[in-house]
């Protein structure tokens, strides 16, 4: 049975909220990517999220709330957190803060950590769902673990099928890249995941921000190989290899590729971010040998785009994946 997909009108939002309160999972649009939502106060619902994504271990989840006031009942807001929330919420910034002892939340949502990742999404459908469900929603990106994040309802149906009670469809995600994850639980702030809010904007507001490498225990979800299509991904490509497709950036693409999709012809990083995941999916087809990507500048949203591309290109850690990554079975066991 395929998951039901419904246009995100008032009736569908009401139905989705009812499913959430019953402990079932619902996929919904946010400004970044589609999320796989479950009631963050319900251990069984949160466990079902890990199960549906086939996450190999319990990475903590982002808890979505409707506003700052609700977030303040769950996590300890210090001065930097107040500044960041005032400037970027609602919006694509996730704050990692100390979890309040009395917070009514499934412990599994933060995977036993003393901190909590919390965000107030700006998307009107996400906002309407949060208000209707009247509870915090734990929501990772609505893809199978290790795959490219979904920026359309159809991507969710492809990846998660009948593991979700309802998919709310509101068209392509406007930003197309996940939220920036910023740890403010200690001094100085630490960037755990580059994302839709550029590092430059955080530094301007908060001063120095420390960076963390992948594999750091502070960023449990940031494994090297992640966001991966089935085909191998080759970065900073300047010429074609036989049978490869190309993700192009800027006006001129090198010749000889089997197929070319433009992240942005004008070299606009915002447009490129919005196209990235959908285009990776479109080029991930068995008659091609790989996906090459032209160089992307490392500033603004380019930092998050390059982060996702590096992970898509990283060596796959399961034995089936090399030397023919194309044969990798969906749901195979790499630590992603």
Site residues (CB under 6 A) for ligand TXA?
A: 30, 32-33, 35, 59-62, 92, 94, 96, 110, 113, 115-117, 139-141, 178-179, 181, 192-193, 219-222
Instruction: Name residues whose C-beta falls within 8 Å of residue 6's C-beta, 6 or more positions apart in sequence.
Output: 12, 15, 166, 167, 168, 169
β partners of residue 182: 95, 191
Find where tokens 């044969």 sit: 327
In the structure encoding, which two tokens stand for residue 170, read together?
Answer: 């509101």
Complex with ligand TXA: residue 141 or 321, whichever CB lies closer: 141
179 contact, one of Mg ion, ligand TXA, none, CB 5-8 Å limit per kind: ligand TXA
> Which among 297, 242, 239, 240 is positioned nearest to 273, based on CA atoms?
297
* R_g over Cα of the chain: 19
Name the binder of 32 from Mg ion, ligand TXA, none, CB < 5-8 A by kind. ligand TXA
Partner whose binding site includes residue 113, from ligand TXA, Mg ion, none (CB under 5 to 8 Å by kind): ligand TXA
What minimum distance in Å lies between the beta carbon of 313 and ligand TXA? 18
Task: List, in order, residues 6 or more apart from 315 with CB less than 8 Å away.
Answer: 224, 225, 321, 322
> Residues 117 to 146: which contact Mg ion by CB under 5 A?
141
Q: Does 225 bind Mg ion (CB under 5 A)?
A: no
How far is it, in rounded angstroms, from Cα 236 to Cα 266? 18
**126 or 206: whose CB is closer to Mg ion?**
126
If the CB atoms of residues 16 and 228 are measured against Mg ion, the closer one turns out to be 228
30 binds, among ligand TXA, Mg ion, none (CB under 5 to 8 A by kind): ligand TXA
End-to-end Cα distance, the chain: 26
Tell me which DSSP letter residue 14 carries: H
Residue nearest to ligand TXA (CB): 221
Residue 263 interacts with, from Mg ion, ligand TXA, none (CB under 5-8 Å by kind): none
Q: Are 78 and 184 in contact (CB under 8 A)?
A: yes
Phi/psi for 54 (5° steps) reads 55, 45
Instruction: Please identify, using beta-carbon distances, which residue of 141 and 173 lies nearer to Mg ion.
Output: 141
Nearer to ligand TXA, 37 or 290 (CB): 37
| Interaction site with Mg ion (CB under 5 A) | 141
């Amino acid at each position: 049975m395929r998951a039901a997909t419904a246009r995100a009108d008032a009736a569908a939002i009401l139905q989705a909220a009812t499913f959430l309160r019953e402990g079932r999972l619902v996929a919904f649009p946010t400004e970044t990517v589609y999320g796989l939502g479950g009631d963050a106060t319900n251990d069984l619902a949160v466990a079902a999220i890990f199960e549906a994504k086939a996450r190999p271990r319990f990475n903590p989840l982002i808890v979505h709330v409707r506003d700052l006031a609700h977030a303040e009942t769950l996590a300890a807001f210090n001065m930097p957190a107040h500044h960041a929330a005032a400037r970027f919420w609602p919006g694509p910034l996730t704050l990692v803060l100390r979890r309040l002892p009395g917070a009514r939340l499934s412990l599994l949502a933060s995977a036993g950590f003393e901190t909590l990742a919390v965000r107030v999404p700006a998307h009107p459908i996400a906002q309407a769902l949060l208000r209707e469900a009247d509870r915090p929603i734990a929501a990772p990106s609505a893809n199978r673990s290790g795959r490219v994040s979904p920026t359309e309802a159809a991507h969710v149906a492809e990846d998660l099928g009948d593991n979700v009670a309802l998919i709310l469809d509101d068209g392509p995600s406007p930003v197309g890249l996940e939220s920036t994850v910023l740890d403010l639980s200690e001094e100085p702030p630490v960037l755990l995941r580059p994302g839709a809010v550029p590092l430059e904007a955080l530094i301007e507001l908060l001063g120095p921000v420390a960076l963390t490498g992948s594999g750091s225990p502070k960023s449990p979800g940031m494994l090297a190989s992640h966001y991966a299509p089935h085909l191998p991904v080759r970065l900073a490509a300047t010429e074609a290899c036989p049978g490869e497709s190309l993700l192009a950036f800027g006006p001129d693409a090198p010749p000889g590729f089997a197929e070319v999709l433009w992240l942005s012809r004008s070299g606009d990083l915002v447009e490129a971010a919005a196209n990235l995941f959908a285009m990776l999916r479109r080029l991930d087809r068995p008659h091609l040998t790989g996906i090459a990507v032209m160089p992307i500048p490392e500033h603004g949203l380019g930092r998050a785009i390059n982060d996702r591309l590096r992970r898509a290109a990283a060596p796959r850690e399961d034995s089936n994946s090399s030397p023919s990554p194309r044969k990798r079975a969906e749901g195979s066991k790499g630590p992603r």
